[in-house]
Structure 1
Amino acid sequence: MSYKNILVPVDDSPISYAAVEHAEKIAKAFGSKVIVMCVLSVDPLMSVDFYKVAPAITQHVLEAETNAKGRLDDIKQTLTGHGVAVETIIIRSVPTATGILNVADEIHADLIVMGSHGRKGLKKLVLGSVAQEVLGLSQRPVLIIKQ
């Protein structure tokens, strides 16, 4: 098996960075390209009439994008410095798992490497599990990194 394109979805959690480290090791072994992506959360207020006039919400969305871009730039600099080919992508306005799977299709990913927060019980019920959803829906191999 060869992995030419490895997709790594990240957020700002330590488990995401652990997934990046695993992807780097695999990329070095196979000479792969790593595509690191962030999905900016779907804004639940997007359809609310006052959305366009709520500066605090607009500011929050802009800050989220700035933070995601900074995180991706840092990861790209690190991986490039370690000799790994890297591309970064930011996806907006879709549910996280959908964004991940869409990008996997677009880039013809051979492998998805992602962290799992390992939520259980009520937290899992309320917050869900993106990793579990991607694992269940993906037609590609998915490597789940746990804490």
Structure 2
Amino acid sequence: MTYQHILVPVDESPISYTAVEQALSLAKLLNCRVTVMCVVAVDPFVGVDFYKVAPAITDYFMQAEENAQKRLADIKQSFIRDEIEVDTKVIRGVSAAEGIIQIADEVSADLIIMGSHGRTGFKKMMLGSVAQAVLTQSPIPVLVVKV
């Protein structure tokens, strides 16, 4: 199978950058497009009225989005240097897994390359696994890069 469009979700973790390197290598090899994305997730308390108006919370989300945009701009340069067609996206207001699936559909990606921290047992149960959720929900192949 050949791929035409790779989606790479990233966050601030080093494993995200390992996934970016894998996507960069594969995109060069297959001469395909890449979309790199970040999710600025919503906190579970978003429905609480005081939460929406709290200046500290608003500042937090504004800073999170600014950091995501900077991260994407830096990553984009790696693909541009190698003459790979690249777009970036930030999605807000959804869970990480939901955002990844949504953007994959929106850009017609045919492969998702993402990192996983490889948590198991209690840590996985308490913290969840975005990679696991994407693996189970995605209608397209997912390549999971682990540390």
TM-score norm. by structure 2 comes to: 0.96
Task: Give the corresponding residue for 1:73.
Answer: 73
Alpha-carbon distance between aligned partners in 1 of 2:127 and 2:76, rounded to the nearest angstrom: 28
Mapped to 1, the partners of 2:65 and 2:10 lie a distance apart of 13
Which residue does 1:15 correspond to in 2? Answer: 15
Query: Could you tell me how far apart the structure 2 residues matched to 1:53 and 1:117 are?
Result: 34
Aligned counterpart, 1:109: 109
Which string of whole-angstrom CA distances, capped at 9 and with x for unpartnered residues, describes residues 89-144 of structure 1?
00000111111111111111111000001112222111100101111111111100
SS at match of 1:105: helix
Q: Distance in 2 between matches of 1:53 and 1:39?
A: 21
Q: Give the TM-score normalised by the residue count of structure 1.
A: 0.96
The DSSP-based 3-state class of the residue aligned with 2:49 is coil
The alignment status of 1:62 with 2:62, answered yes or no, reads yes
Match of 1:120 in 2: 120
Where does structure 2 lack aligned partners over 5 or more consecutive residues?
none
User: Which amino acid in structure 1 is aligned with residue 48 of structure 2?
Assistant: V
Deviation at 1:72, TM superposition (A): 0.3
**Aligned residues between the structures:** 147
SS across alignment from 1:123: helix
Alignment of 1:1-147 (within 5 A): 1-147=1-147
SS at match of 1:112: strand
Q: Which digits, 9 at most, give the CA deviation of each residue in 1:46-66, with x for residues without a partner? A: 211212331111100100000
Distance, in Å, in 2 between the alignment partners of 1:73 and 1:79 is 10
User: Any idea what SS the aligned residue of 1:144 has?
Assistant: strand
Rounded to whole Å, the distance in 2 between the matches of 1:67 and 1:132 is: 25
CA RMSD of aligned residues (A): 1.0
Alignment-mate amino acid for residue 82 of structure 1: D
**Code of the aligned partner of 1:25:** S
Q: Give the secondary structure class of the aligned counterpart of 1:50.
A: helix
Once the two structures are aligned, what percentage of the paired residues are identical? 58
Q: Distance in 2 between matches of 1:41 and 1:146?
A: 22
1-structure distance, mates of 2:10, 2:85:
17
What is the alpha-carbon distance in structure 1 between the residues aligned to residue 97 and residue 132 of structure 2? 9
